[in-house]
Amino acid sequence: MAAATPSRDELHRRFTEVRRFTDALSRPLSAEDCALQSMPDASPTKWHLAHTSWFFENFVLLPLGEAPFNPRYGFLFNSYYEAEGPRQARPRRGLLSRPSLDEVRSYRADVERRVRCALGEMSEGRFAGLAPVIELGLQHEQQHQELILTDIKHALGESPLRPAYREDAPPRLSAADPGPMGWIAYDEGARQIGHDGPGFAFDNEGPRHAVYQRAYLLADRLVTCGEYQAFIENGGYTRPDLWLSDGWAAVAAEGWTTPLYWAKRGDGFEAATLDGVRPVDLNEPVCHLSYYEADAFARWAGARLPTEAEWEIAAEGAPIQGTFADGLALHPRPSPPPDPALKHPRQLFGDVWQWTASAYSPYPGFRPLDGALGEYNGKFMCNQLVLRGGSCASPSAHLRASYRNFFPPGARWQFSGIRLARDA
């Protein structure tokens, strides 16, 4: 959580900005859209709107002695906090036709009003205790902003009409050739990774600790759709020698032959995007890949996936630049051309989450937060792989070099792609 307590004015400003952006993301959607749940791993937009409000009500307003907006909402909109009582099963969130979208928006407005009042009225001692919880709630809501986009993309992608998420998409930029993939060398030696210092970090990002890193090479840009298409055309999905055993089983069971949302179109492919179906741009970073697919491609390319330590060492001190949700492109963009003056790889942040070869496990000395908030990250440290860097659906202010995202290896509906590594 936050290492330093922000001022009331700063927290009030951030609270307003984050909540408004969540509302803006839901605005292009109809009430019917907001009720869709297309698979057990996704949630309806309406549920995201309510759950992020429940978080502030449950962890900020109720400890202040305030009554809940509706006592039944705790069961409906608790996500996975066992300490906070029973809840609607995640795969059944799409059955919540009630409360209506309008009622959920009234709930959001009521919680916002009360949190703003509390920020202005609580004592200094109470503010010092609750400010880190409010900041955690804002970071939590930014995670759900990304989920709103990825979950509705999956839902709309399941429709035979393949509708666009919005009608007022910004014009697409010309897709310049990112140039050949280059490699940046990193020396062997002892390094430090993990968060330590001012600013917010989730508990799973620390403690900062030493690692001994062998020399390695990291690709200076992301893998493109054109490069991945070559993998497909070379029989990548038909060669078991390229795949982990579980990955090959997933290919057979799920019938994977392309990234999620791709379909054959003449001599090439088209893809469903948040702005509708369009031809696959071969210069864009490939996305919507599972860990299994990323790993198989890396083997085919004579490389491997980086560890999360290798990725973080490369990202230390790099500017947070890329394609993010706040830019509203909502799709990865081609890499800028190589610049010899740059000290870091291109597209480290934004565009697509980058799978690493690291299992999601605790850092040495990790301790979860006390109470129910200790369930936020620690209990998921099993059967997941770490991703780094953020995506075009991530808010830029939410990202940092130490940020650890995690998903099971078969997950494909996130904007997840590939950066390659090699032994030096």
Please give the distance of CA 315 from its chain centroid, rounded to a whole number. Answer: 17
Tell me the β-bridge partners of 388. Answer: 354
3 band by pLDDT with thresholds 50, 70 and 90: low
Write the CB contacts of 253 (distance below 8 Å, at least 6 apart in sequence): none
Q: Do 100 and 202 belong to one domain?
A: no
2 band by pLDDT with thresholds 50, 70 and 90: very low
Q: What is the DSSP letter of 403?
A: -
Q: Do 240 and 384 belong to one domain?
A: yes
For the chain, the average pLDDT equals 95
Structure tokens of 291?
């860990």
3-state secondary structure of 369: coil
Q: Do 221 and 288 belong to one domain?
A: yes
The string of pLDDT tens digits covering residues 200-217 is: 999 999 999 999 999 999
- Find out whether 285 and 225 touch, Cβ atoms under 8 Å: yes
Residue closest to 193 by CA, chosen among 176, 180, 179, 210 = 210
Question: What CATH number is attached to the domain comprising 103?
Answer: 1.20.120
For position 174, what pLDDT does the model report? 67
The answer to whether residue 340 is domain-embedded is yes
Q: Do 200 and 147 belong to one domain?
A: no
Q: Do 256 and 152 belong to one domain?
A: no
Q: Name the percent of the chain lying above pLDDT 70.
A: 99
Inform me whether the pLDDT recorded for 1 exceeds 60: no
The answer to whether residue 172 is domain-embedded is no
Q: Do 259 and 370 belong to one domain?
A: yes
* β-pairing verdict for 353-359 and 416-417: parallel
For position 341, what pLDDT does the model report? 80
The answer to whether residue 93 is domain-embedded is yes
Inform me whether the pLDDT recorded for 170 exceeds 90: no
Residue closest to 392 by CA, chosen among 326, 336, 308 = 326
Write the CB contacts of 267 (distance below 8 Å, at least 6 apart in sequence): none
The answer to whether residue 170 is domain-embedded is no
* Last residue in a domain, options 113, 141, 157: 157
Q: What is the DSSP letter of 17?
A: H
Q: Do 225 and 91 belong to one domain?
A: no
Q: Which domain holds residue 298?
A: 183-423
The answer to whether residue 302 is domain-embedded is yes
For position 361, what pLDDT does the model report? 97
Inform me whether the pLDDT recorded for 220 exceeds 80: yes
Question: What CATH number is attached to the domain comprising 298?
Answer: 3.90.1580.10
For position 301, what pLDDT does the model report? 98
Average pLDDT over residues 390-397: 98
Q: Do 195 and 70 belong to one domain?
A: no
Structure tokens of 185?
């060398």
Higher-confidence position of 197 and 28: 28
The answer to whether residue 188 is domain-embedded is yes
The answer to whether residue 164 is domain-embedded is no
- Find out whether 165 and 30 touch, Cβ atoms under 8 Å: no
The string of pLDDT tens digits covering residues 322-360 is: 999 999 999 999 998 888 888 899 999 999 999 999 999
Inform me whether the pLDDT recorded for 171 exceeds 50: yes
The string of pLDDT tens digits covering residues 105-152 is: 999 999 999 999 999 999 999 999 999 999 999 999 999 999 999 999
Q: Do 142 and 199 belong to one domain?
A: no
Q: Do 277 and 395 belong to one domain?
A: yes
The answer to whether residue 171 is domain-embedded is no
Inform me whether the pLDDT recorded for 35 exceeds 70: yes
Average pLDDT over residues 40-54: 98
Q: Do 90 and 210 belong to one domain?
A: no
Return the minimum-mean-pLDDT range out of 172-181, 252-261, 291-300: 172-181
Q: How many domains does the chain have?
A: 2
Q: Do 187 and 136 belong to one domain?
A: no
